[in-house]
Structure 1
């Protein structure tokens, strides 16, 4: 938490706008970021897509990606980032998906979290 002011300063200095796409954290990331003074200058919006159908409908995650790699996968997190950037005016995105617990799901142990970052650059996501 002590790094939040440095993160905010980085976004301000680089004129970046952030969008989050959250699954297993159910909005906790954006809630924490929203407590940072001045966050309105760099925090664009957030998508909380807990259900697989919401990831597909709202963020455009391909159902075939979920089928092939599972919900808790880097591939799904990447598609969540792409969808968040596509559906916002943000220039940077972070997404997470995972198994918060207490039991495994599809053989994946609780506590497994997949993150992805992405940046909008001249209309393409990197």
Structure 2
């Protein structure tokens, strides 16, 4: 992605690649794939806060009113922080956020090691 294009070091790229999952999964993946667990945690936390703050108003601005879509988008991008945030807006959004967050964690843990090897990062 953007980090690769900007010439980030391999350790930073691997750590950044884990930002779409929860902090414990990201730290474990980063450590096992040659990234920095601490850096991965920072990327996850920043992504979570930004997603939790921006997703609901962005959906409102764009006129999107589907709680299921809000939940899935927030759960995948903003993890636990985003899931907690959308639960306050709608139980449906919160439920879908939790489901999406969990599925994203499983699929990322299975696929990211393969993708890192394929991209010659690890």
TM-score, normalization by structure 2? 0.34
TM-score, normalization by structure 1? 0.33
Q: Which has the higher strand share?
A: 1
Q: Which has the higher helix share?
A: 2
